[in-house]
């Protein structure tokens, strides 16, 4: 009897909830949105990273899109996302000749209530802030004593203080060359890690022989490929291989 009673009560609860749900009113019924923004702008080719969207208090707002140098802008098909229930003209998916207007075009976004805002979209060549030769001038690690405790502390130290041969890395150079862009707008390229004047790479071992290369050997020796991911601002060496290493970049910019 208990089982049957429980089933009936459950069914009754479901029916009651269904009835209440069907009577619930839309709190936004009769309210028309005034929002008239471009929230995303994606090209069909050559785009690097996501578009920079700047909404101003005036009548004209701005979208800046970066592309690989040499991208053909004569027939660009952008995918445009707008505010809730807003429309855009020219519409999303409309072919636009940005080459004829020096990389610029205007779009009008109209809100559900009928108010409009003009958006200036500008496409610029991406100037890589990673390309070129970089020098390794310091290697540090962060330590924590009593992490999470009120009496704890932390700091940074030079790796060479604990691992003398780490200093051999300090005259090395890294050369990066961007070669392409992925379908999601991230950069790909090649790198060359060269030993400095001493002709040696650092070795991350303590005097006792304890090997910490697994932890601190972030820069692969010699050469390979890289992926720069703009979504989390990381650099991955040799992606898709057993030697793949990912590290955060200390800078983030588009220019």
State what percent of residues in the chain have pLDDT above 70: 86
32 lies in some domain = no
Contact in structure between 122 and 62 (CB atoms under 8 Å): yes
Q: What is the pLDDT of residues 210-220, one digit of tens each?
A: 999 999 998 99
Q: Going by C-beta distance under 8 Å and a sequence separation of 6 or more, which residues neighbour residue 178?
A: 128, 130, 131, 187, 188, 189
Can you give the pLDDT at residue 10?
Answer: 41
Q: Going by C-beta distance under 8 Å and a sequence separation of 6 or more, which residues neighbour residue 209?
A: none
Catalogue the long-range contacts made by 223-227 (C-beta closer than 8 Å, 24 or more residues apart).
Answer: 223/190, 223/191, 223/192, 223/193, 224/190, 224/191, 225/188, 225/189, 225/190, 225/191, 226/176, 226/188, 226/189, 226/190, 226/191, 227/182, 227/186, 227/187, 227/188
Q: Based on the structure, what is the number of domains in the chain?
A: 2
Can you give the pLDDT at residue 16?
Answer: 45
Same domain, 120 and 225: no
Same domain, 146 and 102: no
**Model confidence at 3: pLDDT above 70:** no
Same domain, 162 and 114: no
Across 112-124, average pLDDT? 95
Domain boundary among 75, 106, 125: 125
From the list 128, 227, 241, the residue with the least C-alpha distance to 183 is 227
255 lies in some domain = no
From the list 185, 190, 196, the residue with the least C-alpha distance to 175 is 190
- The DSSP secondary-structure symbol of 139 reads -
Can you give the pLDDT at residue 41?
Answer: 97
Beta strands in the chain (DSSP E): 38-42, 47-54, 60-67, 79-82, 87-89, 104-110, 116-125, 132-135, 140-145, 153-158, 173-181, 187-194, 222-229, 234-237, 245-248
- List the domain range (segments joined by +) for residue 93: 38-125
Contact in structure between 194 and 219 (CB atoms under 8 Å): no
Question: Which CATH number fits the domain that encloses residue 55?
Answer: 2.60.40.2340
Q: What is the pLDDT of residues 182-222, one digit of tens each?
A: 888 899 999 999 999 999 999 999 999 999 999 999 899 88
Can you give the pLDDT at residue 129?
Answer: 87
The predicted model scores a pTM of 0.64
Same domain, 106 and 142: no
Same domain, 157 and 97: no
């Amino acid at each position: 009897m208990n089982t049957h009673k429980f089933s009936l009560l459950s069914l009754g609860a479901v029916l009651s909830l269904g009835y209440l749900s069907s009577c619930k009113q839309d709190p936004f019924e009769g309210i028309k949105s005034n929002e008239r923004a471009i929230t995303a702008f994606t090209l069909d080719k050559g785009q690097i990273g996501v578009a920079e969207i700047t909404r101003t208090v005036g009548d004209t707002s701005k979208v800046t899109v970066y592309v690989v140098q040499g991208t053909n802008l004569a027939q660009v098909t952008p995918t445009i996302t707008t505010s809730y229930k807003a429309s855009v003209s020219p519409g999303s998916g409309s072919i636009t000749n940005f080459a004829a207007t020096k990389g610029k075009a205007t779009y009008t976004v109209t809100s559900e209530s009928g108010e409009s805002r003009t958006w200036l979209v500008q496409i610029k060549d991406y100037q890589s802030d990673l390309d070129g030769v970089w020098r390794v001038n310091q290697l540090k690690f962060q330590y924590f004593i009593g992490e999470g405790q009120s009496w704890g502390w932390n700091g940074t130290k030079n790796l060479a203080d604990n691992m003398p041969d780490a200093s051999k890395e300090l005259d090395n150079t890294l050369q990066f060359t961007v070669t392409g862009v992925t379908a999601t707008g991230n950069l790909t390229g090649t790198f060359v890690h060269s030993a400095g004047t001493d002709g040696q790479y650092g070795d991350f071992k303590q005097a006792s022989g304890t090997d910490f290369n697994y932890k601190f050997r972030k820069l692969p020796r010699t050469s390979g490929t890289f992926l720069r991911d703009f979504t989390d601002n990381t650099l991955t060496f040799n992606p898709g291989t057993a030697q793949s290493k990912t590290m955060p970049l200390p800078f983030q910019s588009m220019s």
